[in-house]
Structure 1
Amino acid sequence: MPGPAPSEPTVFSRLIAGELPCAKVYEDERTFAFMDAGQVNPGHVLVALKRPAETLLDLSEDEAAALFRTVHKVARAVEAAFAPEGITVLQTNRPAGWQTVPHIHVHVVPRYRGDGAELVWPRRSPPMDELKALASRIRVE
């Protein structure tokens, strides 16, 4: 079941409602895609669910599917428009997970070697028995 909306309107809710200007890329019944005002590289697009849910965990399976269907369309359009060397698709949840706007969204970022964008985290390499123990804790339904 979908989770609650953020208690206050977010900047994304205001963009989607037309209360603030944006450079819209795509819109359908459930999703809204627009240029990120803080471009990592030219063509950096944000794809948001129109319903103001905070995180991926607050979406129904159908909403998640709709969001990522639009991410796929936008990534293909970015590829056609900018011919990048790569594309980073990034979705974050809650401040500890690097989320800065409490409205579900996905970054579609055209990438180039040496563009200065980095995603760094410590890499741990536990033994296989530990990986299997961790996997056994996760129940996907």
Structure 2
Amino acid sequence: MSDECLFCGIVNGSVPATKVAENETTLAFMDIHPGTDGHLLVVPKRHSRDLLEISAEDLTAVTLSAQRVARAVVDVLGADGVNLLNCCGADAWQTVFHFHLHVVPRYVDTSKDSLVLPWRPGIRGDADEITRIGAILGAALR
């Protein structure tokens, strides 16, 4: 744990939070800046800065906990869908540097959900550029 990390403080109980679910490796709690009704965060109890640093075991545990929470927001809150979101790095909107997954319930009812996508799905990208970048990444991952 980091003494300077907000989410480590929530995990150890020194920072107040509305805790929703907990197991030996993860904690789910309500986001105090919710994008929609029922917006939660799921964190590993062990501190990891971001997606690039988290262990495979903790990443698996957080993902499985997020899936459990996602089922609850659909079944209990009546969400019409769910977004899982991770922001890795300040330029990718990460503001708390302790790995976390946002579990964002989505609703057709805009009084519960005012989020909009930051990009426009369905707009095709440049096929040559997609192929070029795919080849670079594919070679790096082989």
- Give the TM bin, normalised by the shorter chain: 0.7 to 0.9
Query: Which consecutive unaligned segments of at least 5 residues does structure 1 have?
Result: none
- CA distances 1:38-72 after superposition (whole Å, capped 9, x unpaired): 12222111000111111011122111111101111
What are the equivalent positions in structure 2 for 1:1-141 lying under 5 Å apart? Answer: 8-113=3-108, 114=110, 115-121=113-119, 124-127=125-128, 129-139=131-141
Identity of aligned residues (%): 33
For structure 1, which segment, 115-124 or 86-95, has the greater mean C-alpha deviation from structure 2 after superposition? 115-124
TM-score (norm 1): 0.84
- Which secondary structure state, in structure 2, belongs to the residue aligned with residue 57 of structure 1? coil
Aligned equivalents of 1:131 and 1:49: distance in 2?
32
Structure 1 residues 97 and 137: alpha-carbon distance in aligned structure 2, compared to 1, 3 A threshold? farther
Aligned equivalents of 2:132 and 2:29: distance in 1?
42
Aligned equivalents of 1:22 and 1:132: distance in 2?
42
CA contact (8 A) 2:47 2:99 kept: yes
- CA distances 1:82-137 after superposition (whole Å, capped 9, x unpaired): 11111111011110111110000000011123432123137633326425423433
TM-score (norm 2): 0.84
Structure 1 residues 95 and 132: alpha-carbon distance in aligned structure 2, compared to 1, 3 A threshold? closer
Aligned equivalents of 1:100 and 1:132: distance in 2?
29
Aligned equivalents of 1:20 and 1:132: distance in 2?
43
How many pairs does the alignment contain?
Answer: 135
Aligned equivalents of 1:107 and 1:116: distance in 2?
16
Q: What is the root-mean-square deviation of aligned Cα atoms in Å?
A: 2.0
Residue 116 of structure 1 aligns with an amino acid whose one-letter code is: S
Residue 4 of structure 2 aligns with an amino acid whose one-letter code is: P
Aligned equivalents of 2:14 and 2:48: distance in 1?
18
CA contact (8 A) 2:27 2:43 kept: yes
